[in-house]
Amino acid sequence: MPDTRISVGLAQIAPIWLNREATLEKVVNWIEKAAAEGCTLVVFGEALLPGYPFWVERTNGASFESELQKSLYAHYVAQSVSIDDGDLRRVTATAKRHGIAVYLGVMERAADRGGHSLYCSMVFVDRDGNVQSVHRKLMPTYEERLVWAIGDGNGLRTHTLGAFTVGGLNCWENWLPLARSALYAQGEDLHVAIWPGSARNTEQITRFIALESRSFVVSVSALMRRSDISSNLPHAELLRETADDIMADGGSCVAAPNGEWLLEPQLGDESLYIVELDHQRVLEERHNLDVAGHYSRPDVTRLIVNRKRQTTAEFSDD
């Protein structure tokens, strides 16, 4: 019989905050660590490359025409990721060299939207080193809307990984029932949720999604501490003064298809947590509930998903 198991690595790490190249170096090192441990997939937190915008709520981010906010945003854009320009080339090459798949949260500077707005994107790189999907967060949450643009449905896709069908969402969009349903409808049985960090985000919804979908759910969070604010950053002194000692303390965890913890929320430590998943458990739990299969009524309720990548203009030179 074919092997129905895979090993998943949860890379709960802090970024080299707002420094793309240094964070990229760290990400590559942790991909290699996961590969050395035999992982099929390694997952990193939301917006990890180059980091979550923790300054916004601490420095009056809604102040209009603020020179401070303009300066910090300009630095954020400059340190973000342009996939078209090859900023993830080292990630894809490392994935290919080691035969490991990667989910990575990035701040994407999207060429197809002009190149100056930022999207909170969840990138899936397959074991051959190919970028298979870039999911731009559908709706940034609260203060995130001051620095992140609204995404689209293009990245609502699943991917084959061994016996599993894997998909994922960013942070609070995991609470969107229709976004989850779009993934369930494609056969998702391994759901990946990425977060900036905190067990208050992961400890309830991880088990809830597992119970709803009868899937494995892997939640991966980042870390962020005052000590992670480099003196080289713009307004570094102010950023330190307004920061908390700990702004993101992790909370990475894994739930089985029956809602039981395989890994309870892990707090505070920068570590690679590895969990082995067996697809047989999905089949067992789908016996009494399969929300996209025998427990659905498409003749009564159906979901329509627009996966067209949204652009400002379409050009024809014919």
Q: What is the pLDDT of residues 266-298, one digit of tens each?
A: 999 999 999 999 999 999 999 999 999 999 999
What's the confidence (pLDDT) of residue 2?
A: 77
Q: How confident is the model at residue 110 (pLDDT cuts 50, 70, 90)?
A: very high
Please name each of the domains of the chain with its CATH number: 5-285 (3.60.110.10)
Beta strands in 48-143 (DSSP E): 101-109, 118-125, 131-136
Question: What value does the mean pLDDT of the chain take?
Answer: 97
CA dist list (Å): 36 to 14, 109, 185, 272: 21, 31, 34, 11
- CB 45: neighbour CB atoms within 10 A? 33
Give catalytic residue positions: 46, 137, 171
Examine the pLDDT at 1 and tell me if it is beyond 90: no
What gap in Å lies between CA 246 and CA 226, rounded to an integer? 6
Burial grade of 274 (CB within 10 A; 0-12, 13-18, 19 or more): middle
pLDDT tens-digit readout, 41-98: 999 999 999 999 999 999 999 999 999 999 999 999 999 999 999 999 999 999 999 9
Token readout for 23 is 């964070």
What's the confidence (pLDDT) of residue 314?
A: 87
pLDDT tens-digit readout, 4-43: 999 999 999 999 999 999 999 999 999 999 999 999 999 9
Query: Among 135, 172, 131, which residue's Cα sits nearest to residue 153?
Result: 135
What's the confidence (pLDDT) of residue 183?
A: 98
Token readout for 109 is 């500077």
Residue with tokens 């074919």: 2
Q: What angle do CA 223, 228, 229 make, to 5 degrees?
A: 130
